[in-house]
Structure 1
Amino acid sequence: MKNKFLFITVLSALLIAAGIITTIAMANANAVRVQAEVLNVRNGPGLAYDVTSQVRKGEVLRVIGEENKWYKVRLDNGNSGWVASWLVENTDVSAASNSVAIVNSEDGLNVRSKPSTDSSSLGILNTGDQINVVSEQNGWAQIQYKGQNAWVNASYITIRESTTKVDQSDLQSLTIRDDSTNIRSKPDLSGQVIEKANSGNSYEIQGVQGDWYQVQTTKGQTGYVANWVVDVGTKSEKPTKSKTTKLSEATIVLDPGHGGNDPGAKGANGTIEKKATLKTAKAIKARLEQTGAKVILTRDHDEYISLRGRTKVASKHNADAFVSLHFDSLENEDESVSGQTTYYYSSADKGLAKSINRSLGNTLPTTNRGARVGDFYVVRENSQPAVLLELGYLSSKADENNINSSSYRTQIAEGVTEGLANYFAN
């Protein structure tokens, strides 16, 4: 009996220790490397949440949050999602993170999709080109290239300075989105909360460290706030929301998802998402212009536009609404899942999302999956009211047939137009 009691005691101690080690490891994670052959990325911290994308073995993901033994990670396309902590391993990110570097390769430096010479080339950098290094590991530097994460051989670059050194003349301001937002003592979720900020509070940006902005608190302390909970504007003006009360007076930016070397999803019958979104955008544009609205497309032909470039169109034209158009797909090609979903990020845009979603639900012959929060770059990093529409599943044959129908595009155009009109009227 004593031996049995001793065994149970030792086993319990080992389990508790393992839990503590796991907790410490998660708290200290800056980046993780995928261990599974294929890892599902979900829209929440648990197996019950929808799969939004997948990543492959060996990919390195930057950690921006943690909950219930799940990591919130930033993906190469700028979006974020949740991955199971037990299917990844922690990896160190060097002090070269968030630094400016100069290319010094006389024969040109290949920009690659992965940290390997076997990966595809995205382009070539020339000697003297200046790049922003996001992180560095195993002889490879992760950089920003044409709006996406990419990799270059670190042997051919020279680190110059940290991007946290910001010229005073280039300072911008940020505005807090929601009440009780944490300002922390360091650029990490483990940092001590030194101030609580409320919706509408504004701070000047003193510097940038990864996904965090350095600011000065009301008491003069140096603090950090996560970039996914704020809106950024120029030093002299704060991000503004629409005051338009009529659709005929509004400026609408329509964003046909994907394009160029980014085809998006593909249906069983060969439908390419980038082509379907452009056709849909043109149908919506024609209907909106009938009401007198000013309509701008982020692209009007098959070309690649970076995610940042898309949001800049909205900012440049001071859009009253930004509507990104997509068609969903499931990796397992489950045909039983179909319908349309409306996503928003900022709580200030919830009304816009619900209005459009309600109208689409009334006009489309598909399941209405509702309006919900989605952490997509084009809505998260948008200074204007923004929503992202998933207007059907290309993995569903029924939805794919609808998507290729001109009558379905007409119904989408009617629904979006009605939803926008109701939004501005209210």
Structure 2
Amino acid sequence: MKQKRIIQGISIIVLIMCVFNIFLINPVNAQEKTVSLQVDGNPVNLDVMPFIDAQNRTIVPLRFIGEELGYSFAWDAQAKQVAFTGNGVLIFLTVGSREAIVDGNKMLLDTEAVVKNGRTMVPLRFVLENLGVKVDFDSSTKIVNIITKNGGNDKGTIVKTAVIAENVVNVRSGPGLTYPIITKVKKGSTYQVLSQSSDWYQIAVDNETPGWVAGWVVTVRTETSSASRSEEPGEGRDLEPEPVRLAHIDKVDVDVSNGEVFVTVSGDETLYYTVFSLDNPRRLVVDFFNSVLKDRKSGEEKFEVDTELVTGIRMAQFSENQVRVVADVTAPAGLTLIDNEPSKITFKIGKPSIVGKTIVIDPGHASIQPGGWADPGAVGPSNLYEKDVVLDIGLKLSDILKAKGANVIMTRTGNTTLTLGGRADVANKNRADIFVSIHANANTSRAIHGTSTYFYGGVAGQYEARQKLAKSIQSELVKTIQRRDIGVLQSPFAVLKYTKVPSVLVETAFISNYEEEKLLADPEFRQKVAQGIAQGIEKYFAY
């Protein structure tokens, strides 16, 4: 009887331990607590709710830190790894792991990144405090306040100044055209920015009169009490969005001549497209975005083709505003543009080649400002100007690509009056195949160094193409110049956001770093940078 009681007692203990393990130890099943977010005291609404996990840490969507707070990020789905960069700091987190890497140093966390309902979620405080941002939590209200103003690891006090870019600008009582005009300001005048609402800035007109000006009529400069790179003028504001004009594709012709295949696509508006390849079976895909078939009900249309390279072509409405043309091929294939009218495109399907491709090269900075001076970009320790370095690299890159048969368009060959939107428009109006913006990075810490390539994935139908272009250039550039590989990152830079073609922004090296500034001043190194970018572009067009 006594032995039976002992066994029953052990069974009860084991049961209690199992229940304890399930409900208290296992963080997956532990009850999560919701939390509200604020940025500088302003409430933030997210499509995925942040929560407090079992370790009492606030967990937020990855994209909140990247898109809402403006830090660059990248997500590697295969490795389940996320990277953040900002203020010269590079952070790697891996889903399910409590080990992080910050600027190459391993650090242990008391929690971990997770995937919840298909969304990657990361520990807020760990990421932001390592990026130099202060995070406060009010336990009574369950509100997390992210403090970005004047914050961040002694980076210096940050002040934004608005420079009036038009002859006369209306100052309104609120952030919008419906608010009354309270005064007017003249071109070239500068005012401290007090706050921002969408694409409107509140400025201090005088000691007693705050007012609001539209973002598209001012140039905003970021200044700091310690040496740091400023934004490129115009970077922080949205352009007036162009109305989306839907192209109705009414005709597709396929012709075969002497074993070569020609495809002509016609519509009623300008046609924009991207090209990529698929395997198993091998296919060449052409996606026309912001496009619909005139006769959507016809379903998939097939064209009989039987050449050594192309064995068939078909076309269909792939998504609501995206038309897809697919060529079944027996070997790697690419497109050569034969005729490029605004609403009619003819291309030849053949072996992959850079010949005939239209490539826009954008050496960053050097835009002439309201005061008549040209934006130098970042300035190195020995007074080396970013605008001069990247122009030389751009011209060298142009020579390499032209020698290979590409059609190259430079956004500038000296100082320029083009805005950031105007640079993007060079690619849009010429319906370029790709757009490559070249820059030199900078940071208040002289120790930060390395190479990175950015893309923006928010343009309809172009995520894969833009990511592929960025990866191709980054891998070949790092291989050629042998600098630290910071990686491929996402960021909504204006020139990437407003280009309608696949585009990237290359940060070649840190001009603020003593060693890399010396390299950037060396014509031979600049030639290597140009060669690396060119090899990446060729790799991209190899499909």
TM range (shorter): 0.5 to 0.7
Distance in structure 1 (CA, Å) of the matches to 2:398 and 2:190: 34
Q: In structure 2, list runs of 5 or more residues that go unmatched.
A: 1-32, 47-68, 75-82, 89-120, 126-132, 136-144, 150-171, 204-208, 222-240, 248-286, 293-319, 321-341, 369-373, 458-462
Q: 1:417 aligns to what SS in structure 2? A: helix
Alignment of 1:241-256 (within 5 A): 245-256=352-363
Alignment partner of 1:97 out of 162, 176, 195: 176
Query: Are 1:281 and 2:381 counterparts?
Result: no
Alignment of 1:149-228 (within 5 A): 149=220, 171-173=243-245, 202=290
Identity %: 24
Change (3 A) 1:322 1:283: same
Query: Are 1:400 and 2:517 counterparts?
Result: yes
Alignment of 1:28-43 (within 5 A): 42-43=71-72
2:483 counterpart residue number: 366
Contact 1:41–1:83 (8 Å) recurs in 2: no
RCO comparison, higher one (Cα < 8 Å, 6+): 1
Alignment partner of 2:213 out of 139, 142, 147: 142
Alignment of 1:231-380 (within 5 A): 245-259=352-366, 260=368, 261-333=374-446, 335=447, 337-346=448-457, 347-348=463-464, 349-380=466-497
Contact 2:173–2:179 (8 Å) recurs in 1: no
Contact 1:328–1:391 (8 Å) recurs in 2: yes
2:43 counterpart residue number: 26
Distance in structure 2 (CA, Å) of the matches to 1:21 and 1:103: 34
Cα deviation, residue 318, structure 1: 0.7
Q: In structure 1, list runs of 5 or more residues that go unmatched.
A: 1-16, 30-39, 54-65, 71-81, 118-131, 151-165, 176-198, 205-217, 219-235
What is the aligned residue count? 285
Q: 2:415 aligns to what SS in structure 1? A: coil
Q: 1:262 aligns to what SS in structure 2? A: coil
Change (3 A) 1:264 1:243: farther
Contact 2:72–2:489 (8 Å) recurs in 1: no
Query: Are 1:50 and 2:85 counterparts?
Result: yes
Cα deviation, residue 43, structure 1: 2.8
Distance in structure 1 (CA, Å) of the matches to 2:215 and 2:36: 36
Distance in structure 1 (CA, Å) of the matches to 2:349 and 2:183: 50
Change (3 A) 1:331 1:246: same
Give the number of the structure whose residues are more often helix, by fraction: 1
Cα deviation, residue 332, structure 1: 2.5
Change (3 A) 1:67 1:149: farther
TM-score normalised by structure 2 residue count: 0.44
1:424 counterpart residue number: 541
Contact 1:252–1:293 (8 Å) recurs in 2: yes
Contact 1:98–1:133 (8 Å) recurs in 2: no
C-alpha RMSD of matched pairs (Å): 4.7
Distance in structure 2 (CA, Å) of the matches to 1:22 and 1:374: 22
Distance in structure 2 (CA, Å) of the matches to 1:351 and 1:104: 49
Distance in structure 2 (CA, Å) of the matches to 1:382 and 1:148: 20
